[in-house]
Amino acid sequence: MTKSEMDPLFDSNCAERLLSWFDNNKRSMPWRDSNDPYAIWISEIMLQQTRVDQAIPFFNRFMTAFPSVHDLAAASTQHVLKQWEGLGYYSRARNIHKTAKIVADDYAGSLPREYEELLALPGIGPYTAAAIASIAFGLEHAVMDGNVIRTVTRFCGIEQDTRKTGTRKLVQQEVDDWIKGHPPADFNQALMELGATVCTPTKPSCETCPLASKCIAYRTAKTEHIPYTSKKAKRPHQEISVAIIINEQEEVLIAQRPEHVMLGGLWEFPGGKQESNETSVEALHREIQEELGIEISVIEEFMSLKHAYSHFTITLSAFLCVLKPTNTQQTPTAKASEQIKWVSIQDLKNYPFPKANKTLTLALMKRFA
């Protein structure tokens, strides 16, 4: 299907019905109560990988901690990561912090209006730049997220693979035309809202859709087949062993990940990946020797849990350990970490941890309460 074949489908009547539907059905969201570009920017970054209902409490917490760009720019990286804790995809938090510093220094604390200037800021891609430009500043830039792609491909009957660049370009061209002459903020939000609440991935509520009368997928009974998205390759799985090393003062040893790696700046219990020829305990001893230069004694397995990242999955096995008694005093050294630190178990709550490690900290604090 080419763009010329789709042009007659969406007309001014469709736009009017869509905007009227949005006016009567839009959900309440804290950032929708504000025209503040800062709040809109933070919300859009959070919503990149997070559902609205999950994002709202994190948004409220973040905005309470950092009510302005200047507050965010002045904060430490650790404080920003701690306030982001639980949302995942921590590169978003680091990029937000970088952008806040640029906006505070170069734009007097106000986000730039122009799409191209927004696009040049860390962590702001085409979707986010279009969302900020349209919702905060009323500029005519159409957004394209997963909800928009699903709605447009069904409406236009596009059956090409949505992972393909050509298909996404076709959808973008279409919504660029649809938005012309309509209020950009309401139009973009209406289309995203329709995809999120009506034109859902499974069992869409076509009978309540304002665009159903002209929707090709609905009229041809293909809503369960469109959009077509090719399957992702199976994510690899890793077995991870970590040590919860406790000293005589009932302090635990934690390590901070280097800034340049995945989850950089966050804290974790030391350990690493199990090799194919190792048991989890053998891997633990090797990793601790490599990372800290010490020998440990394993007391017991504390917990085993599974966690999924975007590109791989893990089974995390955590063991309660102590320093192995030797003739000479053992001193851990940060060979693979930014830094290491002994902290009291109850103080673990003050450090930002990745989700899997956070689960361990909560269980540990409960056990040693």
* Whole-angstrom distance, CA of residue 296 vs CA of residue 307: 26
* Whole-angstrom distance, CA of residue 139 vs CA of residue 85: 33
Per annotation, catalytic residue among 44, 268, 287, 291:
44
Q: Closest Cα to residue 110, out of 67, 69, 63?
A: 69
The DSSP annotation for 10-57 comes to: S-HHHHHHHHHHHHHHPPP-GGGG---HHHHHHHHHHTTSS-HHHHHH
Name the residue type at position 106: D
The verdict on whether omega for the bond into residue 227 sits within 30 degrees of 0, i.e. cis, is yes
Sign, CA torsion 351/355/360/366: positive
Is residue 44 part of the annotated active site? The answer reads yes
DSSP lists the bridge partners of residue 344 as 251
State the number of CA atoms in the 13 A half-sphere of 3 facing the CB.
Answer: 13
- Is 128 in contact with 37 (CB distance < 8 Å)? no
- Is 131 in contact with 118 (CB distance < 8 Å)? no
Q: Which residues of 129-168 are buried (b: 16+ CB within 10 A; e: fewer)?
A: bbbbbbbbbebbbbbbbebbbbbbbbbbbbbbebeeeebb
Name the residue type at position 15: A
| Residue 43 neighbours by CB under 8 Å, 6+ apart | 29, 30, 31, 55, 59
> Which three-class secondary structure state does DSSP give residue 316?
strand
Write down the residue that tokens 């709605």 correspond to: 151
* Whole-angstrom distance, CA of residue 111 vs CA of residue 105: 11
* Whole-angstrom distance, CA of residue 169 vs CA of residue 90: 28
Residues annotated catalytic, as ranges? 44
